[in-house]
Structure 1
Amino acid sequence: MRLFHSESEIESLIEKFNTCTLPLEAWTHEAHLAMGVWYLRQYNLTQAMLLVRQRIILFNSSVGGVVSFERGYHETLTWFWLKTVEAFLDSFGRDKALLDTCNAFLSSEYALRDRALLFYKKEEIMSLEARTFLMMPTNTSHPF
């Protein structure tokens, strides 16, 4: 997993994401997760979810990304990752430096790319329903 080198690198990523000037190739798994950390340090979960949903859809459109029922924004995964970041922040603390928080999160088991598959069946999480509407995990050992 690629870690960040400075707080200004993270802030620049967020600014470019928010203004739809981030190159598509920079919109990595790590960038998605750092964005979640940043938003949940600024806003509560409900506010973050509303803003992130809007900004991902705008960003995808701005870079010519496919916005369809099969590709693009995914409601359940966005919620899943924000809840995962929130659980991490609750245990790690919210008062540490952004760089330390992002890198600790990215270095943790919370950030594993396939983490959602611990709690959702692949066919569920890849479904149109999960992409469009929030689906709760089928695995009841979900940490939230």
Structure 2
Amino acid sequence: MNESSALNDESIEAIARGMVERRLPKEQWTHGAHWAAALWLLRYRPEIAEPRAMGAAIRAYNESVGGVNDDTSGYHETITIASLRAARSEMARHENDTPLSQILAALLAGDLGKSDWPLAYWRRETLFSVAARRGWVAPDLGELPF
């Protein structure tokens, strides 16, 4: 059973709102939940889905569950920007009224469903560098397809 199979549009909304409102339990902030939140925010709260606002929301959420945003953990700018681009691209492949649960299922069924998907585009040392965590660093293994 894949992670998206239990998520309907109501649970996707609950995840996104829970993250933004800093009330989502930490154990529910999974790889699929990251994508669910991104998709919902892109559709319903695009002002939060802009990199600066999304970074602020993720940092605040991380701190609310006891996390730390520093040079080795927590918020990661390059992964966030790449993920937003990927989520926008996946949404563009579907009609505007397609349920988010279907879009999420399609996204998770592909390469983006693997939590290590960025390593197809960045060397590990580049992706996990302080520079990539703090700001955008372009891929060094290949161009992003989105």
- TM-score normalised according to structure 2 size: 0.88
Given the alignment, which residue of 69, 81, 86 partners 1:79?
Answer: 81
Q: Contact 2:120/2:142 (CA < 8 Å) preserved in 1?
A: no
For the aligned residues, what is the CA RMSD? 1.9
Q: CA deviation at 1:95?
A: 2.8
Q: What is the match of residue 36 of structure 1?
A: 38
* CA distance in 2 between partners of 1:16 and 1:117 (Å): 28
Contact 1:39–1:48 under 8 Å retained in 2: no
Higher mean C-alpha displacement, 15-24 vs 35-44: 35-44
Q: Which amino acid in 1 is paired with 2:26?
A: L
**The structure with more helix, counted as a fraction of residues:** 1
The correspondence for 1:127, drawn from 129, 132, 136, is: 129
Percent of aligned pairs sharing the same letter: 28
**Is 1:110 matched up with 2:112?**
yes
The aligned residue for residue 65 of structure 2 is 63
Counterpart of 1:94, as a letter, is N
Q: Where does residue 21 of structure 1 map in the other structure? A: 23
User: Given the two structures, how large is their TM-score scaled by the length of structure 1?
Assistant: 0.89
What per-residue deviation string (whole Å, max 9, x for no partner) do you get for residues 76-96 of structure 1? 000111111112122234331
Aligned amino acid, residue 2 of structure 1: E
Gaps of 5+ in 1: none
Between the aligned partners of 2:17 and 2:38, the Cα distance in structure 1 is: 13
Instruction: Describe the superposition over 1:41-98 as per-residue Cα deviations: whole angstroms up to 9, x where unpaired.
Output: 2355995322211110000111110221111100000011111111212223433112
How much does 1:31 deviate?
Answer: 0.5
Distance 1:104 1:127, change over 3 A: same
Separation in 2 of the partners of 1:45 and 1:86?
A: 14
* Most deviating of 108-117 and 52-61: 108-117
Q: Report how many aligned residue pairs link the two structures.
A: 144
